[in-house]
Amino acid sequence: MVRKTFVMLCLLSGITSMMAQGQQQQRWDPKSTEWHYPVPPKVKPGKVPGAPPSDAIILFDGKDLSQWESADRENPGPAEWKVQNGELIVVPGKGTIKTKEFFGDCQLHIEFKSPSPGPHNGQDRGNSGIMLQSRYEIQVLDGDNNPTYVNGMVGSVYKQKAPEVNAYTINGEWQVYDIYWRGPRFTTGGELKEPAMVSVVLNGILIQNNYVLNGSTPYIGLPNYTPHGRMPLTLQDHGTEVAFRNIWIRNL
Ligand code: MG
């Protein structure tokens, strides 16, 4: 009996508060929940899907490597990858390359094509990588009937998170990545305040959905965070002639 009365009282108080809220909302001027500033800047989209919008920084438009340099500390200088037929092609042994400009939160568009597989399989077939802020790798790999560890397959956050699905098409076709990156935040004392987060779309399909990173993406060992600010975007030389094109980035 006591419990029944209690439930009735709760229900009644719920209904009364909903009615009060409704009455209050009716008294509101609708304009009081509308705002007019700041007005978002106008950005002109690209002419076709995948083309750079007006506020993008073009990192490679098929012509030259002017936005890039060698990421090899022992051998600094110009990036020594090949530009041919509008493509930027890894030259194995010439090392990873990095942008001259530093980036933090960003939207990145980048297209890649795996080389002919030859006798190679797994991690040796079309391996490269897109390293956000120089240390968080979104894997580039041939995903056409190429089994490997799933947290190292195409679309993985390397050795942390397999993609939700394999959206790679077939070897020899261009694959289109759109990456939405929120970098980690650190306190002024260098403690991690907020981890990094990434969403990745491959060929129009969402394959990483707001994944929260455990840290960097090393080949050996566990992910870890060390404090940093804006860093170059790097593309990995992993010994295979992966081609890239149409690379642009928007600062967020
Ligand atoms: Mg790689």
Q: How far is the CA of 238 from the centre of ligand 1 (A)?
A: 6
User: Does 19 share its domain with 67?
Assistant: no
- Mean pLDDT computed over every residue of the chain: 93
My answer on whether 177 and 133 are in the same domain is yes
Ligand 1 is an ion; residues with CB less than 5 A from it: 127, 129, 238
Q: What is the pLDDT of residues 95-125, one digit of tens each?
A: 999 999 999 999 999 999 999 999 999 999 9
Cβ 247 vs Cβ 86: under 8 Å: no
Q: What's the gap in Å between 128 CA and the centre of ligand 1? A: 4
Ligand 1 midpoint to CA 48 (Å): 29
Q: E strand or H helix at 21, and its extent?
A: helix 2-27
Q: Do 8 and 115 reside in the same domain of the chain?
A: no
Q: What is the pLDDT of residue 19?
A: 61
| Residues 166 and 239 both lie in one domain | yes
Q: Residue 42: exposed, middle, or buried by beta-carbon count in 10 A (0-12, 13-18, 19+)?
A: exposed
Report the pLDDT averaged over residues 16-21: 62
CA 185 / ligand 1 centre spacing (Å): 25
Q: Number of structural domains, the chain? A: 2
pLDDT tens, residue by residue, 168-220:
999 999 999 999 999 999 999 999 999 999 999 999 999 999 999 999 999 99
What's the average model confidence in pLDDT over 116-144?
Answer: 97
User: Residue 128 in contact with residue 242, Cβ under 8 Å?
Assistant: yes
Inside any domain, residue 199 = yes
Strand-strand pairing, 192-194 and 57-60 = unpaired
pLDDT over 70 at 7, yes or no: no
Q: The CATH number of the domain where 241 resides is what? A: 2.60.120.560
Choose among 115, 52, 58, 122: nearest CA to 82: 115
Backbone angles phi, psi at 174, to 5 degrees: -70, 135
Residues 150 and 28 in one domain: no
**CA–CA dist 40, 37 (Å, integer):** 8
pLDDT band at 23 (very low <50, low <70, confident <90, very high): low
Task: Give residue 18's domain range.
Answer: 2-33
What is the pTM for the complete model shown?
0.89
Distance 34 CA to ligand 1 centre (A): 47
